[in-house]
A and B are shown apart, each in its own frame.
Chain A
Amino acid sequence: MIGLGHYLILSGILFSIGLVGVLRRKNLLMLFFATEIMLNAVNIAFAAISNHYHDMAGQMFAFFVIAVAASEVAVGLGLLVILYKKYGTLDLDAYTVMRG
C-alpha cells in the first residue's frame, strides 16, 4: 500500500533533483525550471499530507504555492528579458560584477 511516507520520499527526491538543478545550472532559464521542480516537489508533499490527515490545509498551501509560482514567472520572466537585453546572455557567470 502506498502511504504518506512514499509520497514524502518522492517529494524529497524531486526536491533534491530541483536543488541539484539550481546548484548545477548556470543558465537562468534552467534555474527557473529547477525552481519550479522544487515547488512542485513541495506541492506533492502538501497534497499527500492533506490526503493523509483528511485536512484541506495542505491543499490550500499547494494552491498558494502555485499562485506564488505564477507571480514568480511573471516577474522573473520580465527580469530575464531585461537581463538578456542588457548582457546578451542568460549565463549567471556573466553577471558577476563583484570581485571577491
Chain B
Amino acid sequence: MENLVYIALFAPLAGSLFAALFGMSKKNIITGIVTSTLIFISFVASAILFSHVMTVGPVHVRMMDWIMAGDMLIPFGFLVDQISVTMMTVVTLVSTVVHIYSNGYMDHDKSFNRFFSYLSAFVFSMMVLVMSDNFLGLFIGWEGVGVCSWLLIGFWYHKEDVSREVNPSISPSWAANEAFIMNRIADLGMLVGIFILYWNVGSLQYDVVFAALPNLSDGILVAAAVALFIGAMGKSAQFPLHTWLTDAMEGPTPVSALIHAATMVTAGVFLVIRANPLYSMEAVHWVSYFIAALGTFVAVFAASMALVNRDLKRIIAFSTLSQLGYMFAAAGLGAYWIALFHLAAHAFFKALLFLGAGNVMHAMDGELDIFKMGGLKKVMRWTYLYMGVASLALSGIGIAGIGFAGYFSKDAIIEVAFNEHTYVLWTILVLTAGLTAFYSFRQVFLTFHGNERYHALGIHPHEMYGYVLVALSPLAILAVVAGFYKDWFEHFVTKLLPEYHMSEHTHHIAWILGLLVIAFAVGGIVLAYIKYNRGLKRNEKLERSFVYRLLSNQYYIPIFYEKTISKPYAALSRFSWGTVDQKVVDATVDGIGKFIKTTGDTTRKIQTGNLSDYLRWMAGGALLLVAIAFVAFKLSQGAH
C-alpha cells in the first residue's frame, strides 16, 4: 500500500517534470498524453487506496525526517484516511478529465507543454496538501497550489492590461497577482494558526495536535481556530477575500474547472473538515457559528452577483463561490461529512459545468458574453446536454430520494441549517437555492436557447472534439448518480468524521423542507425559462437601476478595494521607494559601494607590480603588527 501512496503522490510530479523538460519547445502532444496517463495512474492508485481504506483502514506512511532542529521534529509523512482518500480520488478524477480535456482545449496554444507542466504540478501540490499528516506539509501543499494557481491564472501573461470597464479582471497577470496576494494575506493567518498550535502543543502532527486539544486553554483554541479559518477564507475565497476568484477566470478554462471550482478552492473547506476536532471544541463554538454565518452570507452574496453577470465563466465562478458558502455553512454547523460530500459532488458537476463552458468558449472563438450567444444547442448538442445536467445538479433538482447529485448534498445542508434552529441561515439558504437555479438556467437558456445572436459577430460555432466529449462523460454520470451514494459515503467517512443526525422533529418534516427547496429551485428555473427561453430582451430601465448596477459591479467591492487599499498602498509604496528606499537605504548602500570604489581607486596605486614596492608595504605592515602585538601585550600585562 505504501508504494501506492507514493505512486499516487509522485506520478503527477513525474508528469510535471517530464512536461517541464519540453517547457520551452514547440507543442508536443506526447507531453499531454504522458501527463494525462500519469494523472490517470495516480487516479487508479487513489481509487485502489480508497477501496483499501474502506476495507482495511487508513494508511500512514513516513517517508523521511524532514525538519530536525533542536526539539523540533517534523517528519515527511503521509496520511491516507477517509478524508484524504476522498479528496485524492476526487482531485485525481477531475484532474484526469481536465488533463484529457486540455489536450483538446489547448490544442492551438503554443505553450502547450508548459501548460501541462503547470497543471500536473498543481495536482502534485494538491495531493501533498490533502495527503500530508501534519500542518506543515499541508502548508507546503497549500503554498504549492497557490504558486501553481498563480502560474496558471497568469498563463497568458502576455495579454495587455486593459481598463476595468472593458474587462473587470484587467489582465491575466493582474488577476494572477491579485489571487496570489489575497492568498498571501490569508496565509499569514494560517501560519499564525500553525505557530500557535506548535507553540502550545510542540508538534504539528494531526493526531498529536488533536489529542492535545482538550488540554489547551480556551483563548488559544479560539485564536488557533480563527487564524486557521482566515487561511481557509483566503483559499476558499470567502468574503472579504473573494474578489480574486472571479478574476481568476482569466486563466484557461480547464484551469478554472480544475482549480477554481473542483479542487483548490475547496482546500479551505478541507482544512476546516480536517481540523474538525478543533472546530468541534465547545470553546470555539461561536467561531464555528461565525463560519456558518459567513458561509451563508457568501452563498447569497455570490448568488446575487451571478444573477446579472453576462460572463459565462464568471457566472459559474460566482456559483462556485456560492456553493463554497454552502460547504462552510455545513462545516460550521458541525455537519462535516455533509460538507465533504457536497465538496465531492460539487467538484463533479462544477468541473463539468466549467468544461462545458470551455467548449462553448472554444466554439465561440473565446467569446464569453452570454448576451452574444443563444441557440447553440443545435450545433453543440453534447455540450448542451452536459451543461444542462450539471445545471440541474447544481440547482439540486430531484424529489423523493431520486435526483441529481446536488439534490442530495445541498438539501442536506439546508436541512442541517433547519435542524440547528438557525432559521435565519436556513431561510437565506433556501432563498439562495432558488437564486442558484435561476442564474444557472439563465445562463443555460441564454447560451443554448433562443435566437442565434452570434451570427452578428460572424462566428461559426462547432462542437468540441469527440474524445473530449467522451472524457467528460464520467463527470456527467457522476453529476447524475453521485447522490445515490450518500448513505454509503456517510457510512464511509463517519468512521473518521463525527456523525451528524437530524433530530426527530426535523426528520419528520424533512420532506416538507425538501419540497420547499425544490419549489424554490423549480421556481427559479421556470422564471429563467419564461424570461430567457425566447431570446434576449434587454430591459434598459432595469439595467440602469441601482440594484442592477450594484450587483453587476460586484457591490463595487473591487473598486472599493482599489480605492481604499490598493491606491493608498501604492502611494505608500511609492513614498517608501522614493524617499525611504532610494534616499536612505540605496544612498547608504551606494555610499558604501562608492567608498569602497574610491578606496580601491586610491589604493590601487599601491599595486604597482613592482616587487620592491610590495616589500616596502609588507615591511610597513610587519612593523605595524609588531607594534600592535607589543602594545597589546603590554596592556594585557598591565591588566594583570
- Interface residues of chain A, those whose CB is within 8 Å of chain B, are 19, 22-23, 26, 92-93, 95-100
Residue interface bits B405-443, CB-to-A below 8 A is 1, else 0? 000000000000000000000000000000000000000
Q: Could you say which of B605, B607, B610 contacts A92, with CB atoms under 8 Å apart?
A: B610
Q: Are B611 and A92 in contact (CB under 8 A)?
A: yes
Q: Are B610 and A93 in contact (CB under 8 A)?
A: yes
Give complex CA distance A98, B604 in Å: 11
- A-B CB contact pairs (8 Å), 25 listed: A19-B619, A22-B615, A22-B619, A23-B615, A23-B616, A23-B619, A26-B612, A92-B610, A92-B611, A92-B612, A93-B610, A93-B612, A95-B611, A96-B608, A96-B609, A96-B610, A96-B611, A97-B609, A98-B607, A99-B608, A99-B609, A100-B605, A100-B607, A100-B608, A100-B609
Q: Smallest CB–CB gap between B456 and chain A, Å? A: 78
Residue of B nearest to A20 (CB): B619
10 nearest A-B pairs in the assembled complex, by CB-CB distance: A98-B609, A100-B608, A100-B607, A96-B609, A96-B610, A92-B611, A92-B612, A100-B605, A23-B616, A23-B615
B606 interfacial by beta-carbon distance below 8 Å = yes
Give complex CA distance A96, B610 in Å: 5
**Cβ contacts under 8 Å, A98 to chain B:** 607-609
**Cβ contacts under 8 Å, A95 to chain B:** 611
Residue of B nearest to A98 (CB): B609
**Cβ contacts under 8 Å, B615 to chain A:** 22-23
Give complex CA distance A92, B610 in Å: 7
Residue of A nearest to B622 (CB): A19
Report how many residues on chain B are interfacial, defined by Cβ distance under 8 Å: 12
**Cβ contacts under 8 Å, B604 to chain A:** 100
Give complex CA distance A96, B614 in Å: 11
Residue of B nearest to A34 (CB): B615
- Interface residues of chain B, those whose CB is within 8 Å of chain A, are 604-612, 615-616, 619
Give complex CA distance A49, B8 in Å: 78
**Cβ contacts under 8 Å, B611 to chain A:** 92, 95-96
Q: Smallest CB–CB gap between B141 and chain A, Å? A: 58
Give complex CA distance A62, B550 in Å: 97
Q: Smallest CB–CB gap between B368 and chain A, Å? A: 69
Count A-B pairs with CB separation below 8 Å: 30
**Beyond A96-B609, A100-B604, A100-B606, 19 additional pairs, beta carbon < 8 A:** A19-B619, A22-B615, A22-B619, A23-B612, A23-B616, A92-B610, A92-B611, A92-B612, A93-B610, A93-B612, A96-B611, A97-B609, A98-B608, A98-B609, A99-B608, A99-B609, A100-B607, A100-B608, A100-B609
Give complex CA distance A19, B607 in Å: 20
Give complex CA distance A22, B607 in Å: 18
**Cβ contacts under 8 Å, A26 to chain B:** 612
Q: Smallest CB–CB gap between A25 and chain B, Å? A: 8
Give complex CA distance A100, B602 in Å: 10
Residue of A nearest to B613 (CB): A100
Q: Smallest CB–CB gap between A50 and chain B, Å? A: 22
Q: Smallest CB–CB gap between B610 and chain A, Å? A: 5
**Cβ contacts under 8 Å, A22 to chain B:** 615, 619
**Cβ contacts under 8 Å, B605 to chain A:** 100
Give complex CA distance A3, B597 in Å: 52
Q: Smallest CB–CB gap between B570 and chain A, Å? A: 50
Residue of B nearest to A97 (CB): B609
Residue of B nearest to A99 (CB): B609
Give complex CA distance A92, B616 in Å: 13
**Cβ contacts under 8 Å, A100 to chain B:** 604-609
Q: Smallest CB–CB gap between B47 and chain A, Å? A: 73
Q: Smallest CB–CB gap between A91 and chain B, Å? A: 10
Give complex CA distance A40, B612 in Å: 22
**Cβ contacts under 8 Å, B612 to chain A:** 23, 26, 92-93
Q: Smallest CB–CB gap between B633 and chain A, Å? A: 16
Select the residue from A26, A96, A100 with max chain B CB neighbours within 10 A: A100
**Cβ contacts under 8 Å, A97 to chain B:** 609
**Cβ contacts under 8 Å, B607 to chain A:** 98, 100
**Cβ contacts under 8 Å, B610 to chain A:** 92-93, 96
Q: Smallest CB–CB gap between A53 and chain B, Å? A: 19
Residue of A nearest to B604 (CB): A100
Give complex CA distance A87, B606 in Å: 24
**Cβ contacts under 8 Å, A96 to chain B:** 608-611
Give complex CA distance A96, B616 in Å: 15
Residue of A nearest to B620 (CB): A23
Residue of A nearest to B614 (CB): A92
Q: Smallest CB–CB gap between A41 and chain B, Å? A: 14
**Cβ contacts under 8 Å, A23 to chain B:** 612, 615-616, 619
Give complex CA distance A19, B618 in Å: 11
Q: Smallest CB–CB gap between B611 and chain A, Å? A: 5
Q: Smallest CB–CB gap between A15 and chain B, Å? A: 11
Give complex CA distance A98, B615 in Å: 16
Give complex CA distance A93, B616 in Å: 14
Residue of A nearest to B609 (CB): A98
Q: Smallest CB–CB gap between A39 and chain B, Å? A: 15
Give complex CA distance A19, B611 in Å: 14
**Cβ contacts under 8 Å, A93 to chain B:** 610, 612
Give complex CA distance A92, B615 in Å: 11
Give complex CA distance A93, B615 in Å: 13
Q: Smallest CB–CB gap between B221 and chain A, Å? A: 71
Select the residue from B604, B609, B612, B616 with max chain A CB neighbours within 10 A: B612
Q: Smallest CB–CB gap between B509 and chain A, Å? A: 98
Give complex CA distance A46, B615 in Å: 25
**Cβ contacts under 8 Å, A99 to chain B:** 608-609
Give complex CA distance A19, B622 in Å: 11
Give complex CA distance A57, B84 in Å: 76
**Cβ contacts under 8 Å, B609 to chain A:** 96-100
**Cβ contacts under 8 Å, B616 to chain A:** 23
Give complex CA distance A26, B616 in Å: 12
